[in-house]
Amino acid sequence: MNKELSEDRLRAHVWQLAAEIGERNVFHPAALHAAEEYVRAVWRDQGYHVHVQECIASGVPSANLEVIRPGRGQKD
């Protein structure tokens, strides 16, 4: 992947999360859930299976998202 493309993609993700979705925590549950859906969609589009660990935080349904990125193996 070329450096400019990677920087542009990163900048777009930061913009979406910080500027468009904004502050996200249990005091802003709509934004918290919007960020979760955004990250899930991005990872799914990249071909990852997204594992969701659901929990309740201060009475607000929340989730940890996890993907596994396999390595290339160990060199001897």
| pLDDT tens, position by position, 13-65 | 999 999 999 999 999 999 999 999 999 999 999 999 999 999 999 999 999 99
pLDDT higher than 90, residue 4? no
Q: For residue 11, what are the CA distances in angstroms to 18, 42, 50, 59? A: 10, 14, 22, 32
Residue 52 falls within a domain, yes or no? yes
Range of the domain at 45: 3-66
pLDDT higher than 80, residue 75? no
Report the number of distinct structural domains present in the chain.
Answer: 1
Residue 55 falls within a domain, yes or no? yes
| pLDDT score at 76 | 60
Residues 51 and 32: their CA atoms lie apart, in Å, by 17
Helix (H) or strand (E) holding 42: helix 29-45
In terms of pLDDT, which residue wins out, 41 or 1?
41
What pTM, to 2 d.p., does this model score? 0.84
